[in-house]
Every structure is written in structure tokens, then in C-alpha cells.
Amino acid sequence: MATATAPALRVALPGVLKHRALHKLLLLAVVAAVLAPLAHARWHSGTWPAALTVDLTDPLTRVSDWIIDNRDSHPLFLYFFGHISNGVVLCVRAVYLFLLAAGWAGVTALGAFVAWRTAGVRLALGTAAAFLACGLLGMWVPTMQTLALMAVAVLASVVTGALLGLAAGLSDRMDRALRPVLDTMQVLPAFAYLLPVVLVFGIGVPAAVLATVVYAAPPMARLTSLGLRGADKEVLEAVESLGATARQRLLSARLPLARRELLLGLNQTIMMALSMAVIASVIGGGGLGDRVYQALASVDVGAALAAGIPIVLLAVVLDRVTAAAGRGTETAHGRLTTYAPLTTYALLAAVAALAVAARLAGRPDWPDAWTVAVAEPVNRVVDWMTDHLYSGVPVVGGTADWAGRFTTWVLDPVRDGLQGLPWWSVLLLVAALAWLTGTWRTALTAVLAMTAIGVLGVWEPSLDTLSQVLAAVAVTLVLGFATGVAAARSDRVERLLRPVLDVFQTMPQFVYLIPVVALFGVGRAPAVAAAVVYALPAVVRITTQGLRQVDPAALESARSLGATGGQQLRQVQLPLARPALLLALNQGVVLVLGVVIIGGLVGGGALGYDAVFGLAQGDLATGLVAGAAIVCLGLMLDRVTQPAVRRAQKGA
């Protein structure tokens, strides 16, 4: 739909748009002319005035103390949080014990079987290979722990998300109430809300599962609601004319029609949950994430990679299988039933037999002898690379020199520039940008978010973080658009890129934090580098897709007019793919923010450091304020980069 309406809109817009943009700017200029001198006179220009901040340290410390003192005795904890926590522990334990009882042979066979039924033989083989690889890396038990945790978290996210989505899909009022909440959660970096969850539930699996649910449920809710609202009106009318009740309509028409969106939601939820697996290890999630985190502590990139690869494999397999299930619903209703039930049962029996056989042979655990040590060779390669690239490379200089120059010539000026701006002019700038790309509503949200940052008293560190985000986004976009254009123009490049993108999109960021420090030293530069690595795949993907979806007829006619390849790209493809490019910008900004925060672990400082500090010291006052500021920053960046076209469509 995006591509169908956008070109038509664009043809009509430019004249009007310029006109309207001018109006908006004029209006803002008038507002500024009135308010700025007032603000300057009342407080002062420069950084956010101290008179306008609210110090939350005391109340937050009191809350934190109250929770710790009453955690073991207050009814709220005993009868509410305690049961939630218990339920989570019971469920995870049940799944974990089942997986252990099935043994490695049983789990592998079961995984392959499910993949075969939903996605065909090739993916089944891939699934089996992935599970065996986890075992070969010596990561069988941690993989099962992560799998158990994920299974419970994904199930809870899907149920929560589907219920919220159902409410939003059926009631307009719920939709209006939920949309801002979901919008906010979508841009929330995971690191921001670990602390409150830990404070209530303590370190451990329940906290990890709940943090994952908060992170992974929104896409499910959003897509469920979208699917219900997008259902074909005519079909619904037809069903209604047959005299179906509201419930029947929902179950027999609206939900089945929304199946594609529901499965896409499931897919998104699983991906989000897996990306959380490692971050959750910071609060005691255990499993693979914990292995990555422990390896990070002893500066052992190889061991971190050995634990990271199973996560990547799980992610790729689950992504492909659920995506295939989503596609399968359209084309292969027939195909799925062509397998005789008998074959299915026979295969299930075979799976069970295999599991039992492995168990009887006394081998439910992965045999220790069958593991491959990858850590050492990987470490040698990484050491060699970082040794040779760090400095003294002829002509271009080493990575340390680049990092130094990037910090001095890009990061410092941007940060000092932002922090040097009078506070009211930052607000005006944000308002102007958000209003130009969106509506007055988005502008208002963005300005309010920025104001909240000021009021919370973290204006300076927030602008520091903002400067890192801006620099990282700029680098990401330059690299991403260039790669995206190359991939869109050549099938071979795209095929080559695909596995690389898959790996970097799902590889836990903790794995490459250390090599990044070894290359760029401690500071803001490695944080930016890590953010670029993380955000690049999504930007490349969206750009490639956008360019490829450009109407072939438009390209054909350009070609027939004798346009060269470069002209086609500049004058036809790029303008027509503008919505996709804007979406890439928006996604890039949100992803970059997430990693710049994690960059607090490698010397990024600013809000990321505060969030890490809050977690490490159990300091709610620092951590929660930093978390809130991160949320506001994310909200502001999202609104500023979110084109009005997309918003209009979401409402449709």
C-alpha cells in the first residue's frame, strides 16, 4: 500500500507542500520572536535554566527504599508480584525440564519436524543443522535455557499483544488510548527500563521474562490491531448480512482475514524477544546471554562469539520458519493438507522414538567429546586484526587515528554546538523539524519530550547522547544508502549481502563491543561504531527494498527516453523510493539510539553511562531519570523523522 499511494501523493504535493511549509515556518518564527526574548529575560539563554528543573532524587530514593524494605512482607508483593514471579518461574522450569527430558536428539528432531510442516524440507534441514551447531559449540544447555525463557516470554508477549491489539482493533476509543503508548514502547531502548523491573522482581529469570515481554509485545499488539482494521469491508458486510453475531464475525471472518498480520506479529515478537536475550543477562536472565556477558568480562571475544552464534542461528531459523508460515497461509492452504495425517503421525512417532532411544542410550545431554573449540582461533584472528589495524597503517592511518579525528572533528563540534545553543532555540529547532515532516501533533509531542528532558535536569548529557546519535545516523545513512543502492542494482550483491545482514542484525551487540574498543579505544567513537554496525543492516534492507519496489513502468519509460543508469537512479528511483528512504532514516535513528545507550559500557558516557550506573549501583534516582530521558529522546527523534505520510496511513 505504501508504494501504491505514495507516488500519486508526491505528484500532487510539492507545490502545496512548499507553500504550507513556508506557512508553518512563518508561524513558528512569529512564535519565536514573541517567546524567545521573554524566555531570555525571565531566565537566561545557554543551558537549561536550573529554575525549571525538578529534582527527583529524594522521592525516588524513598520509593526505592520502600520497595526494598517491603519486598518480603507487603501484601502487594506477596499476593500480586509474588504470584506473577512464581508463575513465570514455574512455566520456565516446566519448559526447561521438558527440553532436557527430550534430550538433544529429541529437541533437534522436533524442531526439524515443526519446520518441515510449516516451511518445507529445506528449512527443516536448516533447523536441524542449527540445533546441532549449538551442540557442537558446547552450548547445548545454555541454548535450552534460553529457549525455555524465550518460549515463555514469547507466549506471554503474544497473548498480551493479541489482547491489546484485539481491544484496539475493535474499539476506536481503546485505539486512541493505546496508540501513543505503543508508539512510545516501539522507540524505547531496552536498557531504559531494566532497572524498575529489577527493583520489583529482583535479579533473575522473572525480571528477565517480564522485561522481554514489555519489549516484545508492542509489535504484536500493533499488527493485530492493524490486521483487524484492515479487513475487507465487503467481506465483513457479507458476513453480517448472513446474520452472524459480533462474536461469530470476529472468529469466523475478521481474525482469519487478519491471519497474515498476526503471523507477521508473531515473527516480529520472536525477533524482538531474541534480541533481548543478551540484554536480559545483565539482570540475571541466564542461558546464552549470560555466557556472552561473562565472556565480555574476561575480554574473551572468541567465547562471546561461541555463545553469540547459537543466538544468531536461533534467530535466523525462527525468522525463516515464521515468515514461511505467514506466506504459506496465502498460497498453500491446499498444500498443507496434502500430507496424509498418517504420514504426520508416523513422523511424530519417529521423533518420539528417537528421543526415547537417545535417552535409553544414556545420552540425553550433548556429549562433551563432540564439541569444537572456536574461541581460541577466533581470538587469534581478532587479535591479529586489531593489532594490525589499530595504528601505523600506511597512508590511511590506523583505526585509532580515525577514532581520534572523528571525536575531535565531528563528535566534539556537534556536541559543543548543541550544548552551546540557547535552550529555547533547541526547542524551536525540534518544533520546526517535527512540524515540517509531520503534523502539529507530532511537533507538540517532540517539543514536550525535549521539555521533559530539561525539567528532569539531564539537559547536558541528553544533548551529548543526541550528538552521538546524530553522528552515528549520518555515518549509517551514507554507508547504508550506498550499499542499498548497490544491492538494488545487482542481484549478486544482494545475494552476497543477505547472510551478512542476517548475522549482523541478530548478533548480540555485546559480542562486538570488545573488538570495537580494541580498534577505536575507549570513548564515544566506539559507541558510535557499534551503533553503526547494528543499524546498518536495517537501513540497507529498507533502502534495497524501496528501490526495488519502484514501479517498473516508470523505470522502463525512463530507459526508453535514454536515461543512463545514474540518471535513472537519481531522477526516477530515488525520488520514487522516498517513503522507503524516510522509513530507513526513522528506523536507523531508533536503532542507533538503542546502541548508543549500550555504548555507555565502552565509554560512551552521557545517558548510557547513567543508565548503566543506575543498574550497577541499584541507584533508582540516577537510573530512572536517565531511562526517562532516553525515552523522551527516542520519542523526539522518532517524531522528528516520522513522515506525515506514514502516520496518515497508520490511521487508515
CB of 537 to another protein, least distance (A): 24
For another protein, the closer of residues 278 and 583 by Cβ is 278
Binding span for another protein by CB under 8 A among 214-222, 319-327, 407-415, 453-461: 407-415
Handedness of CA 64, 68, 69, 70 (dihedral sign): positive
H-assigned helices in 421-523: 423-437, 440-455, 459-489, 491-506, 509-520
For another protein, the closer of residues 252 and 425 by Cβ is 252
Residue 265 binds to another protein (criterion: CB under 8 A):
no
Contact string (CB under 8 A) for another protein, positions 606-625, x = contact: --xx--xx-xxxx-------
The contacts found for 292-300 with CB under 8 angstroms, 24 or more apart, are: 292/508, 292/510, 292/511, 293/510, 296/510, 296/513, 296/514, 299/514, 300/375, 300/379
CB of 175 to another protein, least distance (A): 21
Q: Rounded to an integer, what distance in angstroms lies between the CA atom of residue 308 and that of residue 509?
A: 9
Q: Rounded to an integer, what distance in angstroms lies between the CA atom of residue 186 and that of residue 218?
A: 7
Q: Which of residues 204-233 bind another protein (CB under 8 A)?
A: 204-206
Handedness of CA 478, 484, 485, 490 (dihedral sign): positive
Contact string (CB under 8 A) for another protein, positions 510-539, x = contact: ---xx--xx--xxxxxx-------------
CB of 57 to another protein, least distance (A): 14
CB of 603 to another protein, least distance (A): 5
Residue 299 binds to another protein (criterion: CB under 8 A):
yes
Q: What is the 3-state secondary structure (H, E, C) of 49-76?
A: CHHHCCCCHHHHHHHHHHHHHHCCCCHH
For another protein, the closer of residues 148 and 540 by Cβ is 148
Residue 93 binds to another protein (criterion: CB under 8 A):
yes
Q: Rounded to an integer, what distance in angstroms lies between the CA atom of residue 213 and that of residue 119?
A: 26
Among 356, 404, 559, 567, binds another protein (CB under 8 A): 404
C-alpha cell at 625: 531519570
Sequence-distant (6+) residues with CB within 8 A of 64 are 199, 618, 620, 621
Residue 97 binds to another protein (criterion: CB under 8 A):
yes
Closest alpha carbon to 218 in 256, 190, 257, 258: 190
CB of 160 to another protein, least distance (A): 14
C-alpha cell at 107: 529437541
H-assigned helices in 332-398: 333-338, 341-360, 375-390
Residue 556 binds to another protein (criterion: CB under 8 A):
no
Closest alpha carbon to 194 in 641, 648, 487, 610: 610
Among 284, 508, 537, 594, binds another protein (CB under 8 A): 284
Sequence-distant (6+) residues with CB within 8 A of 191 are 279, 594, 597, 598, 608, 611, 612, 615, 627, 630
Q: Rounded to an integer, what distance in angstroms lies between the CA atom of residue 320 and that of residue 328?
A: 12
Among 248, 252, 344, 408, binds another protein (CB under 8 A): 408
In the block, residue with C-alpha cell 532516553? 630
Helix, strand, or coil (residue 57): helix
Helix (H) or strand (E) holding 210, with range, is: helix 205-229
Residue 96 binds to another protein (criterion: CB under 8 A):
yes
Residue 201 binds to another protein (criterion: CB under 8 A):
yes
Q: Which of residues 409-448 bind another protein (CB under 8 A)?
A: 412
C-alpha cell at 417: 554546538
Among 5, 53, 77, 559, binds another protein (CB under 8 A): 77
Helix (H) or strand (E) holding 275, with range, is: helix 259-279
CB of 199 to another protein, least distance (A): 9
Closest alpha carbon to 319 in 558, 541, 161: 541
For another protein, the closer of residues 108 and 407 by Cβ is 407
Q: Which of residues 356-375 bind another protein (CB under 8 A)?
A: 375
C-alpha cell at 537: 543492516
Residue 196 binds to another protein (criterion: CB under 8 A):
no
Q: Which of residues 573-602 bind another protein (CB under 8 A)?
A: 599-602
CB of 426 to another protein, least distance (A): 22
Q: What is the CA radius of gyration of the chain?
A: 26
For another protein, the closer of residues 191 and 424 by Cβ is 191
Among 42, 44, 83, 327, binds another protein (CB under 8 A): 83
For another protein, the closer of residues 138 and 546 by Cβ is 138
Residues in the chain, total:
652
Q: Rounded to an integer, what distance in angstroms lies between the CA atom of residue 584 and that of residue 536?
A: 10
Binding span for another protein by CB under 8 A among 65-73, 310-318, 440-448, 582-590: 65-73
CB of 305 to another protein, least distance (A): 13
Residue 89 binds to another protein (criterion: CB under 8 A):
yes
Residue 280 binds to another protein (criterion: CB under 8 A):
no
CB of 154 to another protein, least distance (A): 16
Among 81, 239, 240, 244, binds another protein (CB under 8 A): 81
Q: Which amino acid would we find at residue 148?
A: A
Number of residues near another protein (by CB under 8 A): 80
Q: Which amino acid would we find at residue 36?
A: A
CB of 258 to another protein, least distance (A): 18
Q: Are 596 and 528 in contact (CB under 8 A)?
A: yes
For another protein, the closer of residues 53 and 294 by Cβ is 294
Residue 85 binds to another protein (criterion: CB under 8 A):
yes
Residue 87 binds to another protein (criterion: CB under 8 A):
yes
For another protein, the closer of residues 283 and 313 by Cβ is 283
Residue 478 binds to another protein (criterion: CB under 8 A):
no
Residue 55 binds to another protein (criterion: CB under 8 A):
no
For another protein, the closer of residues 89 and 421 by Cβ is 89
